[in-house]
Every structure is written in C-alpha cells, then in structure tokens.
Structure 1
C-alpha cells in the first residue's frame, strides 16, 4: 500500500508539468500506513447429519446430527510479529454403538496457538500448530472426500516451523517448509464442556515423545505459466515411536491439483495424491499406501463432486487389507454465502462394508479491524 500510494503521488506531480495540464498545483495524495495492532480472522460454521445404514457391523448403524465451529484469528502486533489462535467446537467423542446422537459430546478446545515472525520471504513460527504434510485431507472435494486422507493429517503439535517463498517467474511460485515437533501433551490437549482427556506421554502413539525428534519437510508450488491453474505438493515426514510403538514411521507424499475454467462458464477441478508410510503407525514391518482422487464441477451456484480413496495396509508376515471409500455429492451455494450439500458414500474398512448418507449446511464469516 505504501509503495502504491507513493507512485500515484509521483504520477500526479509529474502530470502538472505536462502542457495543458488541468492541475494548477501539484496534488498531495495521502499516504496510508498499516496500523498495529490489528485483528483478523475467519469463522466457519457447519451443521451436518450422517446416517450410516446397511452396515456389516449392526452397531455402526447410527444417525449423528452434529455441529462444527472453527475460529481462526491472527493478531498482528508489528510488521514482523503476529499471534495465531484457533478454536474448534465439535463432538470430541465417537458415537456409541446402536445409539443415535443429536448435538452430543460437543467440546471446545484450542487447536492453534503460536507466535509468527515474518522476515521478507521467510516466515518463522513457534508454539502449537499443524505441520504441513500432504493436502488431500484438506482439498479433496465432496461431503466425504477427505475421510481416509485425514488419517495422515498432522494437527495439534508443539514445536517450531519455517517456510520460505520464492518466485521463479514463469516457472511458478514455490514454498519450502520445515517443521520439528511433538504431539501436544499440555493442558491445551484437553477440551471443555465435554472432556476428551488430556494427552499424556504414557498414551503412546507416533510423535508422542515430548522431544523435538519428529519432523516434516515440504515443497509446494503454483502459478506455473505453462500450466495455468496447476499446483503441486511434495513432502517427507519422520515420526518417532512413542512408548507403545515398536518402530519410527517414515512417510512420503506427492500430490497434484488443477482448476480449469471452461468456455461454458463451468469450472472443473481435479486433484490426486499418493502417500506411502513405512512402519506405519509405528508398527515394525507394516506399510500403508493411500491413493486419493477428486473431481469437482461448478456451474454458477451449483456444484458436484466425485471422489475416492484406496488404502492398502500390508502387515508384517500377516497378509494385507484393501480399504476403499467412494463418494458422490452435490450442492447449491446461495448469494448470502450459505451452502447446502448432500452426499453418499460406500465404505469398506477392515473387511466390513457400510453405506452413509450425509447433509451439510455451511457458512463462513470473515472479519478484520483493518480499514
């Protein structure tokens, strides 16, 4: 903003020197400076209903009406320093077998709390955050598109991270990231209203070490001149064994996404991601492979999605299983920002099948104290 207004002022002054200029005197344009502190963020609200039917396990046939709220806030302290804060309200416990649930077991917890420092193209942060690794758990379209990929999402970790953005011109913009962390075992790992329980090192689990011996390295890119609408992500992670594990886990991920605007006015989206894990979940000799694809079509307020994931688990000396999820969904976005969607999924997990129908009503709000 400062550079833009300065250029405008210089242009206005130069204009007065031209023959026939209508300006009798040079025009002084105000210079608008950033003000600190400032507060900005988003609030995402969702009402949903999931009905599981035709399940091989009769206890899984439940109807779950739920609420989800996610608040993300940035408090800008100076041109360099900011505080990031996130709250989530959701059902923090799984439904009980054979029992339907309506807005049950809702807890409130802090999912993000960190200090950020932006130094030119580099960004540093320390505190509680979700280290980068993969994107399918976030961007795969549809009511159930992200379900299996969420297995490898990294969230609620304590540690340090850094990213560096560089512009390669026609070759695109790229971001290199590195993070060291461990599972949050502080009081922030619990929730209020409904307690989900504080995480302890004795609970085990990969990454639950209370040491900075877990890390991820990522590279993301977009804005390639030869491939408009294209983006990619690459990542590697190492998660150390907790007290209940027998090995450290190593994971690799690679993903692509493409969005295309058609001449008809329709927008076509496509994404795919493969993630491989050796000694998966900290079990020596076990491997896991996830393959996720998603397709979306939007035409004005209408949208539709087709997505699926295949998850292959190979067990040390004990065969393998092949889980899968296929979903189809559609929705309508109103001018006031409210979106209503409906979806169906067929799921096979641990050699058991079930079908699920879901409804989603969502609305997002943005706010800022900046003028």
Structure 2
C-alpha cells in the first residue's frame, strides 16, 4: 500500500462514514460508543515549586463503525481534549478535536484486517492498570495514530497474534480542529515518523480462564535526525482471583528509545479490589531512561460505579522523578454513552 493510496483512503473514509450514519436505522449495522471524562489533576506539593500546577480537563471520545457488508465495515474515532501539555494552572485550555482512527475493516474468517489510521497493538498497561494514575508512565510507549495495515489472527487454542506495518500519521488528519495542534511532518524526526511502511509491531496474547498473558515486539525506524532505530520488547500478565481481586504486571524494555542513544525500561504493577460498587486500587510503576534517570510512582485510588454506568474516582500519588519528589491528587467522573457497549 503506497503512501498516496493510504492518504486517499484516509481522506475518502469520512464521506463513507457520514453516508453510513444516514442509513444506520435500516438494519442496525451502525454501532457507536464513547465517553466523556471531566477531571482535575494537580501537583499539590513538590520539591520544585514550579511543578505545583493544576490541570482541570475534559476528554471526550467517540468510536463508530458501519457494516457495509457482512465482512467489510468502515470505522472512525474522534477525540476532543487538550492537545498540549499543561505548563501552568489551566482549565479546559487548548481543546482540539481530531480523528484518532479512520479506515476500513475486513473480516476474513479467523483474521481481521484493518487498513487506515489505527492504534497498533503493543502492550496494554495504559488500559489495564487500575485507578486514576494507573497509566501515568505506560502512556509513554503506547503506539497511537499510525497509518498502515494491521491484522489480528485468531489462532484458536494458541491465542491471538496481532501485527502491523505502519508509520506516524503525517496527513491532514494529524491536525486538530478548534485548537490546532499542527500537522505532523517527517522532518520533525522521531522513531516511526518516517512516512514509509518500515515500522512494525507484533504481539501474541492468550487467555487461560482467569489469566491472560501477552508478549510483544516492535521495531521503529529512525526518523530525520535520529541516532538509531528503536527496538522494543514487552511482556505482561494479569489474573483475576476469587473474591474480586485483580492483579496485573507489565514490563517493557527498549534499545534506541525514541530514536535516541538511550536504553529505557518500564515496569507497571497494579492491583484492584472490587467491593460492591466500589473498586480500590494500588499501583507501582517505574521508568528508567539513560539520559533522564529513574522515575517511580506509587498511587492509591478508589472508584465508584453508579447503576447507570457513570464512574467517579480519585487517587493520591507520590512521584520520585530523578530525586524530585511530587505529591499528586486527581479526581474524575466518566460518563459512558452509545449503542455498542
């Protein structure tokens, strides 16, 4: 798939998606779901007073799909959020709307093929780790907004194999409406930002009753000005015990992290205890990067789910970032919606 064909696919998909929505009532082939999160994340105490900032935020996300046939569907996803990092106290600043996914999906029996803009599969700590600060460090290595070809192969008793060939989105879809985050360009560099299908990820996963495991590899080619290619390996395991206790661990290691000369290691340990409508959680995560040192975070949190699915939660965290100690406090409410849940 050439870059020009990929761009054409991405630019034509919104038309197909809009047309699909108009026919949704006909056969129930249109599904959608999403959520709105409103919260406040704040450094309430720090060794470095400049770190003591508040970010009152909103994150809205909608994902939709329309089945063109029994085997072919068009999909898309929108995100509305602050598209810059907070550097001072702020409330709902720099809000931008962008397409985080867009493309075509083909159901080929035991294989699902997706073409377009997708989040490649590599790890799951940012989604699996419990609590407000569960993904605090793991977000660093999540693969998002990549253009290419992706497949999930059901191996039956042997698990599921997911893989993809891709590059960082540098089309007009990398911009955002409202506050424009700007268009990505290969001239900016960064591992995987090559404009070519010379980046890859592969992950094997399997469930055994209440246990799941995952092992992943990725290769991101050096971008403009980068020192070297990035090579990454990842392993994760989770288990649900009787009595409502869930535990999860994920370890990821990188050579040439981000296209630099750095080696990097990440580890996440998470536990959650369900107590009626409450979920109590604890997390420990660490990041060690050659050029920036070690960061550790320990957090405790609680979440309450109402009968209508709305969740309210909060957490307190202690962070040691290369010797600088911060205390964080975060609260949020998450409102789900849609017909595909």
Q: TM-score when scaled to structure 1?
A: 0.82
Match of 1:274 among 238, 251, 264: 251
Deviation, structure 1 residue 195: 1.1
Match of 1:347 among 293, 303, 319: 319
Match of 2:35 among 44, 57, 75: 44
Assess if the C-alpha contact under 8 Å between 1:343 and 1:359 holds in 2: yes
User: Equivalent residue for 1:323?
Assistant: 295
Distance in structure 1 (CA, Å) of the matches to 2:82 and 2:323: 27
User: Equivalent residue for 2:205?
Assistant: 220
Deviation, structure 1 residue 60: 2.0
Deviation, structure 1 residue 36: 5.3
Structure 1 unaligned regions, length at least 5: 1-34
User: Equivalent residue for 1:288?
Assistant: 264
Deviation, structure 1 residue 236: 0.2
The answer to whether residue 277 in structure 2 is matched with residue 305 in structure 1 is no
SS at match of 2:136: coil
User: Equivalent residue for 1:241?
Assistant: 222
Within a 5 Å distance, the mapping from 1:108-127 to structure 2 comes to 108-127=97-116
User: Equivalent residue for 1:260?
Assistant: 241
Match of 1:361 among 299, 321, 333: 333
Distance in structure 2 (CA, Å) of the matches to 1:36 and 1:333: 32
Distance in structure 2 (CA, Å) of the matches to 1:37 and 1:213: 38
Structure 2 unaligned regions, length at least 5: 1-25
Assess if the C-alpha contact under 8 Å between 1:81 and 1:118 holds in 2: yes
Distance in structure 2 (CA, Å) of the matches to 1:145 and 1:308: 8
User: Equivalent residue for 2:14?
Assistant: none
Assess if the C-alpha contact under 8 Å between 1:90 and 1:106 holds in 2: yes
The answer to whether residue 122 in structure 2 is matched with residue 141 in structure 1 is no
Assess if the C-alpha contact under 8 Å between 2:131 and 2:303 holds in 1: no
Distance in structure 2 (CA, Å) of the matches to 1:38 and 1:165: 23
Deviation, structure 1 residue 161: 0.9
User: Equivalent residue for 2:143?
Assistant: 154
Paired residues, what number? 316
SS at match of 2:70: coil
The answer to whether residue 146 in structure 2 is matched with residue 165 in structure 1 is no
Assess if the C-alpha contact under 8 Å between 1:37 and 1:77 holds in 2: no
Residue deviations 1:270-318, cap 9 Å, x none?
000110001111113x211111100000111011100111111235xxx
Deviation, structure 1 residue 365: 1.4
Match of 1:132 among 106, 121, 125: 121
Deviation, structure 1 residue 39: 0.6
